[in-house]
Structure 1
Amino acid sequence: MAITERYFQMEGEDAVIHLPERPNGFLLLVLGDANHYVEGKTSLWHQHPDRWLFIDVLKKQGYTIVYSNQYGRHWGNDESYRLAIRLIKQTLKTEILNPKIHVFAEGMGALIALRLLVNQQDLLRSVVLFNPCLNLDAYRNHERTKLFFYKKFMKEMSEAYGEEENVLEKAIQMPSECWKKTCPDTMIRIFHCIFQTPFSLDEHSRLFVNSRKERQAPVELTVFLPGKQLSDFLVSVKNFLSNHEQLMEL
């Protein structure tokens, strides 16, 4: 029987690679939101039928899919970014794959995707963002109106980056400062479901899209009303991925 999943550890974090029966030669890195996890022989994607359908359909399309536990609420810190880089390079080394990869990032995972778009431009083929967190300064200001949640956010930031105020401030400003440095050639597709995410449409996705458009960098935003499940975006995601495999040179 062919192996369809392989579990391993990297930097102490559990990880899994989904192996298609008929590989198309392309890697999809998944960067999850705050509730994302891989633990032992299971993950968030295994435990939720809608999410498993998303993985299973893309795997049947031939995509090799990899993701790991990411140190919990990392808020895009150096450890989570370094782990993502190692995960990509290790998978490209062990599997027969095109050297340019696709990225799917949800919520907090978009903070890692931003860093990849700035510092690992040669690795990226396309990026899909789902309800992304792209502006920590705006998110902090939003949480300030609710004292309990603001304290929780700042505690999580301190755990992710340390307690020095200047380091925390730099970390909070970093995502929006990355916008104008993101790769001008990599196509980015954003799906934003309003009211289903703590990261507002206007302060995250739309501001980021405007920044890309000012540079004439490729980006597309699709906005949905509440009630959509992740699997509802499967056809759009499949079409987007395949289109950008055809347009870019191998």
Structure 2
Amino acid sequence: MVMAVQERYFIMEGEQAVVHLPERPNGFLILLLGDVNHYVEKNTSLWHQNPGRRQFIELLKEEGYTIVYSNQHGRHWGNDEAYRLTKRVIKETLRTEILNSRIHVFAEGMGALLALRLMADHPGMLRSVVLYNPCLNLKTYLEHEKSNLFFYKRFKKELAEAYGEDEAIQERAVELPSELWKRTCPETMVRIFHCVFERTYPLDQHSRPFAETLRERKAPVELTVFLPGKQLADFAGPVRRFLASRNQLRKL
């Protein structure tokens, strides 16, 4: 008996990407946008190596979802290079697989900066967006890092590597994410999961004000705050129910 292909690797702009293929496809694509520790290399990834993340993917595959993600040039902080690569990965996956053209996005941490850009620039591409402990405001993140000189210097170095040495360009990059809050499409459904004691991207600096801004614009958003101890796989049930509701509402 011939075994079905479960995943397919490909190279895009010198970065490795992977598509996870379900046994019974439901026709919908989920794009994963990871945090600073995200990687894809040598035919493996963080989502393979971490048991909880692997379980999360398998549970989504059981529902029939095709899942794609790529390595994104390291700590990109939402730069143009990572954004262009993200759009090309989406386009390539939709070209090679039989899928609905409107996609779901699951973004964690730094990956939310790319999700924000997609929400502002390409709302017609998105079926829904799920954010998990997201980084949504680089300006407040920079201020937050100033409390520890080591972390502040590290972030400034990463920012220079992502955007170049020009201080004016770096300042513009820091300002952009929060400016995008009012440019995101008010019809894109957003579901946020945020740990109340998340230290890197605090709830009251990222998810809560972002959700309040969306509510002020009458945009659909749900924010769930949780305590430490839960693993990503614990959210597979709520995520699956949320995605299923968007499949029904947006099915073409």
Distance in 2 (CA, whole Å) between partners of 1:49 and 1:32 is 16
Residue 168 of structure 1 aligns with which residue? 170
Distance in 2 (CA, whole Å) between partners of 1:170 and 1:134 is 15
Q: What SS does the aligned partner of 1:220 have? A: strand
Q: What SS does the aligned partner of 2:17 have? A: strand
TM-score (norm 2): 0.98
Deviations 1:156-203 (A, max 9, x none): 000000111110000000000000000110100000012244001001
Q: What SS does the aligned partner of 1:208 have? A: helix
Which 5+ residue runs of structure 2 have no aligned equivalent? none
Distance in 2 (CA, whole Å) between partners of 1:173 and 1:117 is 17
Residue 2 of structure 1 aligns with which residue? 4
Distance in 2 (CA, whole Å) between partners of 1:196 and 1:69 is 24
Q: What SS does the aligned partner of 1:192 have? A: strand
Residue 2 of structure 1: CA displacement? 1.0
Q: What one-letter code is carried by the residue in structure 2 that aligns with 1:189? A: R
Q: What one-letter code is carried by the residue in structure 2 that aligns with 1:130? A: Y
Residue 15 of structure 2 aligns with which residue? 13
CA RMSD of aligned residues (A): 0.7
Residue 186 of structure 1 aligns with which residue? 188
1:77 has 2:64 as partner: no
Distance in 2 (CA, whole Å) between partners of 1:238 and 1:86 is 26
Distance in 1 (CA, whole Å) between partners of 2:83 and 2:221 is 23
Residue 200 of structure 2 aligns with which residue? 198
Which 5+ residue runs of structure 1 have no aligned equivalent? none
Residue 41 of structure 1: CA displacement? 1.1
Q: What one-letter code is carried by the residue in structure 2 that aligns with 1:34? A: V
Q: What SS does the aligned partner of 1:173 have? A: helix
Counterpart among 28, 32, 35 of residue 33 in structure 1: 35
